[in-house]
Chain A
C-alpha cells in the first residue's frame, strides 16, 4: 500500500516468543501448551510466599542462539522486576531484563535485501492466561475471571527492532523472516495461533525527511495478516488526524480483528509506573566465552542461507520459484529438494512439488520419505507418470506412505504402453484432419489441442511429452 500525499510510515516491532524449553524459566514445572489448567504449577511459578527463582540454563542457551542468529552482541546481563498488579501475574511483578539485556545491537536482513536493526533481544517470564466471562471480555466489568497459571513463568525472549520499517509489507516480511529464524534456531515453534509468538507494533507517520512523529503501540496482533492490516489501518488513521489539523497522542491501542480497526487502550498519562529495580533474588548472568562459542557452533543454517543453497541448485530463478523456495524453507522441506538434486532429478519440478503438493498436506509430511519423493519426481521426469498422476501419487504417499511405483500401479497409472498411446494418437489425427494439417505446416500451438484430445480420451493419464513425441514421429 502506498501512503497518500508524501506521507511515510515509521514502524518498529516488539516480538515476544516463548522458548521451547522442557521446563519453565525459574522452576522445574513443565513448559507445555494445552495441559489441564493449573496443573503445571509449583510454589515458584505461583509466586507463593518464600519461593525463589532459579534461572533455567536452557532458556539462556536458546536466548543466546537467537542473539547469535540476529548478529547481536552477547553481554553480561541482569534481571529486573517490572512491578504492576494483575491477577495473571502471581508475584504482581514480572522478572524481565531492563538496562542490561543479554543480547543487544543486532540486525536482520530481509529477502528483499533491506536490513532492519535489532536493538535488543532480552529474556523475561510469561504471565498466566486470563479468561474473563461476561461484560466486554476485559477484566473490568467481567462477571467472573479465571486464570490458568500453566503459562506463568514460561520463558520468553522479546526481540525489539529499531524504527527502521517503512511499510506494512516490510513489517510482515520482517516478522515472517524472524519467525523462520526462531524456528531454525530451535528456540521457538513460532505458532502465532497458540500465542507462542506475539507481536506489538509501534507505528508513527511523517512526511519523508521530517523527524519521527508521535508513535502509538498496537497490541493483540496474533497473525501476520493482522499485523499488516493493523499497521495500514493505524498509519492511515494517523494521517487523517494530522491532515485535519489534529495531533497524535502517544498511547497504546488495541487491534480489533473483526472490525479491522484500532482503538485506545490507555494513554501515556494512564501508563503504569513499573518501578523497575534490580531483581535481588537473581545474580548477574554472565555466560562465558566457551559457552557462547558452543551455542554459536551448534547453530544450524538460517533460512536466508538455506534459500541461497536451493536457489544455487536452480541456476536461474524466476519470481515464482523464489516464492516456492521461500515456502520450502519455511516448511523445512529442504531435504526433499536437495535429495532430488543429488539424484540428478529435475530440481525445478522437485521445488514445485514440495512447495505445492507437500505444503498442501504438511501435517502428514513425516509419512513421505525423501526416497519416495525423489522416485516419484523421477518417474514424472522420465515420462512414466504425467504431472497429474505424479501429484496423485504424492497425495497417496502423504496419506499412507508406501512405494511410488506400486501406488501408481494400484491407481491404474501403469504407464500406457507406447503402442497403445501411438494407436490413440493415430486415431486422433484421423478424426481431426484439418488440425493435423495445420500442425504439420508448423502451427506448434496445435500440439496442445492434440494433448487435450488425448487427455480427454485417457482421463488425464497420458503423458504430455510422450504425446508430443508421437506427433513429431508422424509429422
Chain B
C-alpha cells in the first residue's frame, strides 16, 4: 500500500481521488479482515460519504494534509452514529451521539475513517486477547498476537488495510503493538493530543497517538491531531508543534542515553537490536552516554495501582441505567450487579477490583497514596536524566510477538510485556517505537526512544535516522 504522504500528494494533485483510495483500502479489508480480525466494524457507507466530500473539497481547490488517506480508528474513540464498543459486551450496541476531537481533526484534514478496530477490552491488555469479540491476529504471523491494547489498529496498518491508524497508549498500548507489528508508533506528551471522545481507561495516563509504516507518515498524523482543545481541561495550551518539517533534522550533536532499566531482562536478540540502534545513532553524529535510572523499576507496581484506581471510577458509569447493556434485576442494586457481571470480562473485573481496593478507606495511603509518591519520584528521575541527555533509548518490549495463549493464564507475565513502556506514561513524557532489526522467525523488533515533554520532533528525527539505517526507507 502507498504511504499516507504519497496518497495525500496524489489526491491533492488530482492524480487520484479519495473515493479511489478508499476503494482500494476497502478491497484489502474485504480480503484480509476475516483472517486477521483487525476491524470490528467497517463503516463502508459513511466512509464513501466522507470520500465524496473530500473529493468535492479538492475539486473546490482545497489542499488537505491527509487528502483521501484511509485511516483506521481504535474502537475506544467516539464517532457519531458508528458503533463504539471498547471491545466490551457492555457497550456492544452503543452508538455515540458525538465525535472525538481527534477524529474531527482527521476529517477536517481530509482523512477517511473507514472503521473501528479491535482492542483489549477497555484497552486493558497487551495482546487483544481480552477483547469480547475475539483476538486480532498478527498479520506477520497469524499464530502470534499483534500486541495490545491497540492491536487492531496496528494489524490494520501492518496488513496494508489502511496506511495509518489511531491508537491510544495508557502503559504502552501504541508502542508495544507497533513493535510487534513492525510499525512506527508514537505515545505523545500527555496533553498534546485531545482526549475528548476517547473512552477513558486511566485518565491521567491515556493519550491518543498514530501508527504508520514510516516516520514521516506518523509525524504527519500527529501534527494533524495535536494541539489545544478547549473540550479537554488537561490539553496543553500551546499550538501543535511542527513535526513533518523536522523529520530529517538528524541527531548530530544530540546526547543519547542508553538506560539499563529500559532493556535489562529483554531477550538477547532484542538487546542486540537496541545496541545496534545506539551504534547507528552514534555514526549519525549523536553522543552516546550510558546510565541507570533505578526508579524506573518501580514503574510497573505504581502503574498497576494508579491505572486500576482510575479505571475503577471511570468504568462505574457502565451500570445499565442510561446506555449499553442492561440485565434485569429485582431492584437497582441487583440490576447493577447483573449488568456488570455479564458485561465485563475477567481482566476488566480484575482491574476494577484492584483499583477499588487501592482507593478504599484504610488502604488508600498504603497503595494508591504510595503509588502517587513513586510517580512523583519517577517524574523527578526522568527530569534529572533529561538534564544529561536529549533522549533515552531502550527496548519497546522484552520479546518479539508472542503466541496466542502463552501469557493469558498468568496476568503478571502479561503485565511484564509493558515494563519498558509504562514509565513514560507515569511521567507524562513522549516516546516513539521504531522498528529496528528482526529476531526469532524474522519477526520485527521495536526500539524505543524516549524524550521529555514536547520533544516529539527530536524523537521523530532520531527514529528517522534508525529507519534509514535499518534500510526501511
B361 in the interface (beta carbon within 8 A): yes
The minimal Cβ–Cβ distance linking B228 to chain A, given in whole angstroms, is 12
Which residues of A118-168 are within 8 A (CB) of B? Answer: 139-141, 145, 147
Provide the B186-216 mask, 1 if CB < 8 A to any CB of A, else 0. Answer: 0000000001111110111000000000000
B84 in the interface (beta carbon within 8 A): yes
A interface SS class: loop
B100 in the interface (beta carbon within 8 A): yes
Residue B322 contacts which of A51, A52, A90, A281 (CB distance < 8 angstroms)? A90
Cross-chain contact A48 with B336 (CB below 8 angstroms): no
Which residues of B53-86 are within 8 A (CB) of A? Answer: 76-78, 84, 86
Cross-chain contact A93 with B336 (CB below 8 angstroms): no
Complex-state Cα separation, A223 to B77, whole angstroms: 46
Stretch at the interface among A63-71, A81-89, A236-244, A325-333: A81-89
Q: In the assembled complex, which residues on chain B have CB atoms less than 8 Å from the CB atom of A343?
A: none
Q: In the assembled complex, which residues on chain A have CB atoms less than 8 Å from the CB atom of B368?
A: 277
Given contacts A52-B196, A87-B321, A90-B322, contact A280 B310 (CB under 8 A): yes
Cross-chain contact B232 with A52 (CB below 8 angstroms): yes
Q: In the assembled complex, which residues on chain A have CB atoms less than 8 Å from the CB atom of B289?
A: none
Given contacts A49-B94, A277-B313, A281-B233, contact A145 B319 (CB under 8 A): no
Cross-chain contact B359 with A283 (CB below 8 angstroms): no
Given contacts A49-B91, A50-B199, A280-B310, contact A91 B316 (CB under 8 A): yes
A54 in the interface (beta carbon within 8 A): yes
Given contacts A50-B199, A281-B203, contact A92 B332 (CB under 8 A): no
Most B CB contacts (10 A, CB to CB) among A55, A90, A281, A282 go to A281
Q: In the assembled complex, which residues on chain A have CB atoms less than 8 Å from the CB atom of B313?
A: 81, 83, 93, 275, 277
Contacts across chains A and B counted by CB atoms under 8 Å: 103
Cross-chain contact B332 with A53 (CB below 8 angstroms): no
Complex-state Cα separation, A147 to B322, whole angstroms: 10
Cross-chain contact A48 with B97 (CB below 8 angstroms): yes
Given contacts A52-B233, A140-B331, contact A273 B361 (CB under 8 A): yes
Q: In the assembled complex, which residues on chain A have CB atoms less than 8 Å from the CB atom of B94?
A: 49
Provide the A74-104 mask, 1 if CB < 8 A to any CB of B, else 0. Answer: 0000000101010100111100000000000
Q: In the assembled complex, which residues on chain B have CB atoms less than 8 Å from the CB atom of A43?
A: 96-98
Q: In the assembled complex, which residues on chain A have CB atoms less than 8 Å from the CB atom of B200?
A: 49-50, 281
B interface SS class: loop
Complex-state Cα separation, A407 to B100, whole angstroms: 65
A15 in the interface (beta carbon within 8 A): no
Cross-chain contact B198 with A83 (CB below 8 angstroms): no
Complex-state Cα separation, A420 to B260, whole angstroms: 114
Cross-chain contact A83 with B316 (CB below 8 angstroms): yes
Complex-state Cα separation, A281 to B199, whole angstroms: 12
Q: Which residue of B lies closest to A53 (CB)?
A: B233
A47 in the interface (beta carbon within 8 A): yes
Complex-state Cα separation, A280 to B202, whole angstroms: 9
The minimal Cβ–Cβ distance linking A152 to chain B, given in whole angstroms, is 11
Cross-chain contact B97 with A91 (CB below 8 angstroms): no
**Chain B: interface residue total (CB-CB under 8 A):** 45
Most A CB contacts (10 A, CB to CB) among B76, B196, B202, B356 go to B196
B438 in the interface (beta carbon within 8 A): no
Cross-chain contact A92 with B234 (CB below 8 angstroms): no
Q: In the assembled complex, which residues on chain B have CB atoms less than 8 Å from the CB atom of A54?
A: 230-233
Q: Which residue of A lies closest to B335 (CB)?
A: A87
A46 in the interface (beta carbon within 8 A): yes
Residue B96 contacts which of A48, A87, A282 (CB distance < 8 angstroms)? A48
Residue B332 contacts which of A145, A273, A283 (CB distance < 8 angstroms)? A145
Cross-chain contact B332 with A50 (CB below 8 angstroms): no
**Chain A: interface residue total (CB-CB under 8 A):** 32
B323 in the interface (beta carbon within 8 A): yes
Complex-state Cα separation, A43 to B317, whole angstroms: 13
B292 in the interface (beta carbon within 8 A): no
Q: In the assembled complex, which residues on chain B have CB atoms less than 8 Å from the CB atom of A90?
A: 317, 322
Q: In the assembled complex, which residues on chain A have CB atoms less than 8 Å from the CB atom of B76?
A: 50
Q: In the assembled complex, which residues on chain A have CB atoms less than 8 Å from the CB atom of B388?
A: none
The minimal Cβ–Cβ distance linking B400 to chain A, given in whole angstroms, is 33
Q: In the assembled complex, which residues on chain A have CB atoms less than 8 Å from the CB atom of B331?
A: 139-141
Q: In the assembled complex, which residues on chain A have CB atoms less than 8 Å from the CB atom of B332?
A: 87, 139-140, 145
Given contacts A275-B360, A283-B233, contact A46 B322 (CB under 8 A): yes
Complex-state Cα separation, A273 to B231, whole angstroms: 31
Cross-chain contact B196 with A50 (CB below 8 angstroms): yes
Complex-state Cα separation, A139 to B98, whole angstroms: 31
Residue A92 contacts which of B98, B202, B316 (CB distance < 8 angstroms)? B316
Which residues of A28-55 are within 8 A (CB) of B? Answer: 43, 46-55
The minimal Cβ–Cβ distance linking B396 to chain A, given in whole angstroms, is 25
Residue A283 contacts which of B234, B316, B333, B361 (CB distance < 8 angstroms)? B234
The minimal Cβ–Cβ distance linking A52 to chain B, given in whole angstroms, is 5
Cross-chain contact B195 with A52 (CB below 8 angstroms): yes
The minimal Cβ–Cβ distance linking B336 to chain A, given in whole angstroms, is 6
Cross-chain contact A85 with B319 (CB below 8 angstroms): yes
Most A CB contacts (10 A, CB to CB) among B97, B202, B203, B321 go to B321
Cross-chain contact A50 with B356 (CB below 8 angstroms): no
Complex-state Cα separation, A281 to B84, whole angstroms: 21
Cross-chain contact A92 with B233 (CB below 8 angstroms): no
The minimal Cβ–Cβ distance linking B457 to chain A, given in whole angstroms, is 25
Cross-chain contact B336 with A85 (CB below 8 angstroms): yes
B309 in the interface (beta carbon within 8 A): yes
Cross-chain contact A277 with B359 (CB below 8 angstroms): yes
Cross-chain contact A275 with B233 (CB below 8 angstroms): no
Complex-state Cα separation, A81 to B97, whole angstroms: 25
Provide the B236-249 mask, 1 if CB < 8 A to any CB of A, else 0. Answer: 00000000000000
Cross-chain contact B361 with A52 (CB below 8 angstroms): no
Residue B316 contacts which of A55, A93, A147, A280 (CB distance < 8 angstroms)? A93
Q: In the assembled complex, which residues on chain A have CB atoms less than 8 Å from the CB atom of B198?
A: 50
Complex-state Cα separation, A54 to B232, whole angstroms: 7
The minimal Cβ–Cβ distance linking A102 to chain B, given in whole angstroms, is 16
Q: Which residue of B lies closest to A140 (CB)?
A: B331
Q: In the assembled complex, which residues on chain B have CB atoms less than 8 Å from the CB atom of A276?
A: 359
The minimal Cβ–Cβ distance linking B341 to chain A, given in whole angstroms, is 14
Most A CB contacts (10 A, CB to CB) among B196, B316, B331, B360 go to B316
Cross-chain contact A281 with B78 (CB below 8 angstroms): no
Chain A residues at the B interface, C-beta cutoff of 8 Å: 43, 46-55, 81, 83, 85, 87, 90-93, 139-141, 145, 147, 273, 275-277, 280-283
Q: A49-B317, A50-B84, A54-B233 are in contact. List 12 more A-B contacts (CB 8 A).
A: A49-B78, A49-B84, A50-B100, A51-B196, A52-B195, A53-B233, A83-B313, A85-B336, A90-B317, A90-B322, A140-B333, A283-B233
A-B contact pairs, 13 of them (CB 8 A): A43-B96, A49-B323, A52-B195, A52-B233, A55-B233, A83-B316, A83-B359, A85-B319, A87-B319, A92-B317, A140-B332, A275-B312, A280-B202
